Amino acid sequence: MPEPTPSADINLALIQMVQDARMLHDATALPSDYAAVYWIEAKPAAGDTPAPTALAGEWRVSLRAHEVDNAWQMVKAATIAGELGYKSKVSTRPATGQAHPDQRLLCVRVGDAQDTQAVARIKAALLAMGLRDLVFVSDSSRLNPPDKSGGGES
């Protein structure tokens, strides 16, 4: 008798279970409380957020460890309420290339970097939260970096 092969549905169900467990953990996690898990994430509560496209991108802001918990609480609440992008995440330790060991990276994912209205709306929301020195990075620019003459946005 041939061995049964797992179906794609079973694998997708397992992946969803792992993602659900991760989101349950991240729901109450603060960046200052964890170093073993690199990213803490938040997603909108409602499932009506458009799925990301191949042209996705993210707003990034670098924060010091003493600032990150408060900023994350605001960004997480706005993300869950569906006011930002399709996902937000924050590092629990310095990202590669960050200048100071006390820096943390907070990112708000935008489903389509070419949707200038969504990019501007999310930027305005982040600025209203008091976040500054925002930099927008499209996934395509991360995969195909431009020459060094480019710059970020504030």
CATH code of the domain containing 80: 3.30.760.10
Domain holding 83, by residue range, is 8-143
Does residue 23 register a pLDDT over 60?
A: yes
Per-residue pLDDT reduced to its tens digit, 25-73 = 778 788 887 777 788 999 998 777 778 888 999 999 999 989 999 999 9
Q: Edge to edge, what strands does the sheet with 87-91 contain? A: 39-42, 87-91, 103-110, 57-64, 135-138
Residue 3 lies in a domain: no
Per-residue confidence (pLDDT) for residue 1, from 0 to 100: 53
Question: Are the C-beta atoms of residues 123 and 134 closer than 8 Å to each other?
Answer: yes
Residue 16 lies in a domain: yes
Residue 149 lies in a domain: no
- Where residue 110 falls among pLDDT bands split at 50, 70, 90? very high
**What is the share, in percent, of the chain residues with pLDDT greater than 70?**
84
Indicate whether this model's pTM tops 0.85.
no
What average pLDDT does the structure give for the chain?
83
